A and B are shown apart, each in its own frame.
Chain A
């Protein structure tokens, strides 16, 4: 994987380490980053995006803690071998969380009753089946 695949928006309300975590989670879940894929070094990511290396380390460590990345001796960080299969419902749900927050905010801004929004969401979910 190349450092340029990450998109960093310094001005966003979301901290940069979380931007990296979310993007890597999605790429791993979507199979864009297969198990064993080597990640760019902390220095490469920090240098390419002119961001603080500690921010990149923090993101990598979080994902390592979740079992999505594993540290290889001498060669850096790679997508964990078991990253794709053992994804619990809770993990998959957490990927959806930011979008749910956006949706909830938009619904509140439009002053829509929760029941109505939930009914419609239910319909959409069932349509897909």
Chain B
């Protein structure tokens, strides 16, 4: 893969080198190199079971990996100091900590730990989401629980925000609100954001960057606009598998078409010459199609 897909950035808020992890002998992450550029909103996308949550937990230093290392705001993920933790907002896929506390008790407790705690934000968000302050966290619905966890992560005014499937349990209105909040935080406070999702349309609204995780490997990592402008689907007629094309990302046979579809990328601003072959056709590709082509 070319340089566009492998950004090398020093001092990135979140970075991983060669992370591998096996569960019961089965590889879940396979030598993953990952960089979240400063100020980026990076959408980590992949099918269920692709390893998204494992990657995020490894980046957050919550699991030991078999190989490789990760850094969070410049410190090793497995040995983060208080300075880093204060600037980090993290929401796991199923937030379940402190379940016996009431919503207001939980926020009162946490506000003491964080110097930049934004109580006005907490109050306005609880109001807007109509969350009952006196209810125990364990008694909330999954969607409510997720909203509380998101409010908690944003109230820290984090420099780095990490969200694992943040929209999964939210209804469409709450989801749109969340996306708006993520987008504006990134744009105005310079917060760097990593969020995982399998809902492509969520990602397309707010992401500046996208990373595809497939079967434990990071297949693509690029600015979203570049990806849309420089990747396309190339239809090639013929039953035999076409020879490998420079800049090819994936390929699969297309019986109904009577040929092959390949995802190709521009090199030096040009499409592969194979696109000029008789019967060949280049087609612009939305992210959803790109995802399907690569992940099938």
Contacts and interface: CB of A to CB of B under 8 A. Distances in A.
A112 B229 CA distance: 27
18 contacts: A8-B205, A10-B201, A11-B200, A15-B224, A15-B229, A16-B225, A43-B184, A43-B187, A46-B187, A50-B206, A51-B205, A52-B187, A52-B206, A52-B207, A53-B184, A54-B186, A55-B208, A55-B225
Residue with the greatest number of chain B CB neighbours at <10 A, chosen from A10, A14, A42: A10
A12 B228 CA distance: 9
Interface of B: 39, 41, 176, 179-180, 183-184, 186-188, 200-201, 204-208, 224-225, 228-229, 281, 283-289
A107 to B, nearest CB: 11
A53 B187 contact: yes
A93 B190 CA distance: 38
Given A10-B201, A15-B224, 12 more contacts: A11-B201, A14-B228, A42-B187, A50-B176, A50-B183, A52-B41, A52-B205, A52-B206, A52-B208, A53-B184, A53-B186, A54-B208
Contacts of B184: 43, 46-47, 53
Nearest to B280: A108
Contact of B285 (A13, A108, A109): A13
A29 B287 CA distance: 30
Given A11-B287, A14-B284, A43-B188, A50 B228 contact: no
A3 to B, nearest CB: 12
Contacts of A109: 281
Contacts of A13: 228, 284-286, 289
A8 B201 CA distance: 12
A11 B285 contact: no
Contacts of A50: 176, 179-180, 183, 205-206
Contacts of B228: 13-15
B180 A108 contact: no
Contacts of A51: 183, 205-206
A126 to B, nearest CB: 30
A11 B286 CA distance: 6
Nearest to B187: A53
Contacts of B281: 105, 108-109
B204 A11 contact: yes
A12 B286 contact: yes
Interface string A1-39: 000000010111111111000000000000000000000
Contacts of A47: 180, 183-184
Nearest to A12: B286
A49 interface: yes
Nearest to B39: A54
Nearest to B282: A105
Nearest to B178: A50
A47 B288 CA distance: 23
Nearest to A15: B225
Select the residue from A8, A13, A46, A47 with max chain B CB neighbours within 10 A.
A13
B187 A10 contact: no
A10 B205 contact: yes
Contacts of B200: 11
Contacts of B187: 42-43, 46, 52-54, 57
A52 B203 CA distance: 10
A57 B39 CA distance: 14
Nearest to B227: A15
B133 to A, nearest CB: 27
A53 B183 contact: yes
Contacts of A14: 228, 284
A52 B183 contact: yes
A52 B186 contact: yes
Which A-B residue pairs are the 8 nearest by beta carbons? A53-B187, A13-B284, A10-B204, A15-B225, A50-B180, A50-B179, A13-B286, A15-B228
Contact of B205 (A49, A54, A57, A105): A49
